[in-house]
Amino acid sequence: MKKNIAIVDDHELVAKGVSQFFTDHPRFEVITILNDPLEALERIPILKPQIVLMDLDMPKLNGLELMEKVRARLPETHFVILTMHVDKNTVKKAMDLGAMGYVSKNADETEFIACVEKVAKGDKFYSQDAMQALLHNSSKIGKSNVAKLSALTPRETEILKHVAEGLSNKEIAEELFIAVRTVETHRKTVMEKLQVNKVAGLVRIAVQEGLI
């Protein structure tokens, strides 16, 4: 069964162009294109798409506000941000609000489709420029991480790297030939040692320290 996609962008030509990527795609189907974010706020909870591809700069209601409101009603819906903005504050806020994907409108079709396919499996995909934008994101991220990372075992460091790359627990288990429950235990320990409680925090540390 195909995954249903909703596209939200106030530029009609852009939205239609994005939809063309999924013409005759075997795994995805665009069920609606919405150019008004307020209309999207009403329609998306009714249509219940599995994935929403969304711009950020829109009148009346910006993309992050729209995502936050819709996710409160449809927590299982995955959001992919498609934007020209890759500044650190915007990327971080999108991460913190639960965006599963973040891709620049300058991305090529291959990267864009790879993002959607990754998100469809429940994994995160942030383009390289978006990841780099997080390098100096917070004053909490700095020299103190060197000491924290040194406390990780080699296996825990591997887990951190793979989590930051967007792999699911199952994928990490397959990659490292260990049990999923073992991955979950290591992941919990890593978060405790690095003193973070969200994946976004792990990603920022991994990027800054050159693990990915």
CATH number where 201 lies: 1.10.10.10
The answer to the question of residue 138 being in a domain is no
CA distance 15 to 6: 10
Residue 135 has what pLDDT?
A: 55
pLDDT, tens only, 42-75: 999 999 999 999 999 998 899 999 999 999 999 9
Q: Do 148 and 88 lie in a common domain? A: no
Residue 190 has what pLDDT?
A: 92
80: left (phi over 0), alpha (psi -120 to 50) or beta: beta
Q: Do 25 and 118 lie in a common domain? A: yes
- Range name among 16-30, 102-116, 135-149, 183-197 with the lowest pLDDT average: 135-149
Q: State which residues form the domain around 102.
A: 3-132
Q: Do 125 and 168 lie in a common domain? A: no
The widest CA-to-CA distance across the chain, in whole angstroms, is 51
The answer to the question of residue 105 being in a domain is yes
30: left (phi over 0), alpha (psi -120 to 50) or beta: beta
Q: Do 97 and 167 lie in a common domain? A: no
Q: Do 126 and 155 lie in a common domain? A: no
Which is more confident, 150 or 155?
A: 155
**Given a cut of 50, is residue 141 above it in pLDDT?**
no
- Quick one: pLDDT band at residue 105, thresholds 50, 70, 90? confident
As a whole number, mean pLDDT of residues 143-153 equals: 69
CA distance 135 to 121: 27
32 phi and psi angles, rounded to 5 deg: -165, 150
- How many domains in the chain? 2
Task: Single out the residue in 108, 132, 156 at which a domain terminates.
Answer: 132
- Quick one: pLDDT band at residue 31, thresholds 50, 70, 90? very high
Residue 157 has what pLDDT?
A: 85
Query: Are the CB atoms for 198 and 96 separated by under 8 Å?
Result: yes
Q: Do 169 and 125 lie in a common domain? A: no
Q: Do 12 and 112 lie in a common domain? A: yes
CATH number of the domain encompassing residue 50? 3.40.50.2300
Q: pTM for the whole thing? A: 0.66
